Amino acid sequence: FKEACAKVGQGLRLRMQSGYTHSYYFIASFIEDHIKFHADKLRNKTIALAQVAKPIQTPKTSQGVGKPITCRAMVAFAFNEPLQCRNVIVDPPKAGEVRVKVICNALCHTDVYTWSGSDPEGLLPAILGHEAGAIVESVGPGVTSVSIGDHIVPGYTPQCSETDCIFCSSHKTNLCPKIRSTQGQGVMPDGTSRFKLEDGTPIYHFMGISSFSEYTVLAEISCAKISPAYPLEKACLFGCGVSTGLGAVLNTTKVEPGSSVAVFGLGAVGLAVVQAAKMVGAGRIIGIDVNPEKEVIGQAFGITDFVNPNDDPNTPIQKRIVEMTTWGCDYTYDCTGNTKVMRAALECAHRGWGVSCVIGVAASGQEISTRPFQLVTGRKWMGTAFGGFKTRTDVPKLVDKALNGELPGIEKYITHVLHGVTSWNDAIHILESGECLRCVVIY
């Protein structure tokens, strides 16, 4: 065999094991190593080819740099009314800003929350959207971290990384406040908008991103530069929901191997919690949802048990979980935004050391409550935003992990794919149907 390989110039890595016959049965016993070896080779070759190849969708920048661009966007003019497709003018980026061509976008419940009128900070007219994959079209003065043609995932939680920012300097949080005030006012850091209608009417930005538009302008500190080897239609999921669920486990609560976990709400965020819990070796993962169809979906992501509260409406769900586990679960997560569920999640956390994490965003004005005795007896109540990930540092790492196989199955979150920026009203209807994890619209 060695002579045959040498004759045709075939590279060979030969590993002999003392005491084995090297028969078919020997080879079969090492088949996992064999597959992994070739999978690594193929993955590395794919990454190398993608990095040297010119991205197919790189925007043509020669005509637009430094000039306004007219493109299509879906604009919200009234709460809970269909979005309207309009031609909008997108101004060039100013200092510290980046203009990008949006390639694709996933619909998040936060977009629908604001569109519905439930968000007290919602401003109209606005261009919604924040879970996007994009390519840099042009950059403003002073921008150094990204260049024209770079693939990026925008982050609604910016990361200024300045040495005097106590938030960016701390490993305890990702909540950089650098542009929070203007972002909440629907404008860029200088207090003005980069969007306007053809008649000059200004349009508000949304969450610092506004990706229901073919082009948008971002703060540089909101741009996570990622490997061009990873498809943007999957990378966009790291802009919000999937990262939030993963980080709740990996960063916020730091689940240990063998732990018991309960996840309330098996949407995209909840399933990301399940995936992360399985990745770190949780021993038991209980999924709770009122939709019975979520049982099969949850099993595909890693739940070991499924509980539907409606199966026994007279028994509080927290009591059922405690009865299943004797003392409750080591870690529990609310991914619903319902304050009653938040309480239930806390009260089925393990006596003495249980940790309950609030992920879902409650409606305006809602408050949480429980008996103080629940906390006195050792339970901890905490929350997370974007899973504790720092946008510019950590999102590229998540993409790299997806590329090298450490974070597999991201495509499982994508249940629907639509095409064209005008598809957003259809995407909203799909999400509201309850049959959707993530609907990705490719422009």
Annotated catalytic residues are 108-110, 130-131, 160, 165, 168, 176, 180, 240, 438
**Which residue type is seen at 78?**
A
Determine contact, residues 272/252, Cβ cutoff 8 Å: no
Q: Backbone dihedral region of 268: left (phi > 0), alpha (psi from -120 to 50 degrees) or beta?
A: alpha
Residue 275: Cβ within 10 Å count: 23
Supply the Cα-derived Rg of the chain in whole angstroms. 24
Which three-class secondary structure state does DSSP give residue 427?
Answer: helix
Please return the burial class of 292, using the count of CB atoms within 10 Å of its CB with bins 0-12, 13-18 and 19+: exposed
Residue 258: Cβ within 10 Å count: 11
Q: List the structure tokens of 233.
A: 């239609």
Torsion of CA 385, 251, 209, 275, to 10 degrees: -100
Nearest to 402 by CA among 133, 73, 187, 196: 133
Query: b/e map of 327-348 (b: 16 or more CB within 10 Å)?
Result: ebbbbbbbbbbbbebbbbbbbb
Q: Where are the beta strands (DSSP E) in 155-192?
A: none
What is the side-by-side strand order in the sheet with 195-197? 69-75, 84-90, 195-197, 202-203
Nearest to 268 by CA among 441, 436, 383, 442: 436
Residue 410: Cβ within 10 Å count: 22
Rounded to a whole number of angstroms, the distance between the first and last alpha carbons of the chain is: 52
Determine contact, residues 118/364, Cβ cutoff 8 Å: yes
DSSP state letters, 74-128: EEB-STTS--EEEEEEEPPP-TTEEEEEEEEEE--HHHHHHHTT--TT--SSB--
Q: List the structure tokens of 314.
A: 């007279």
Can you say whether the dihedral through the CA atoms of 251, 253, 257, 261 is positive or negative? negative
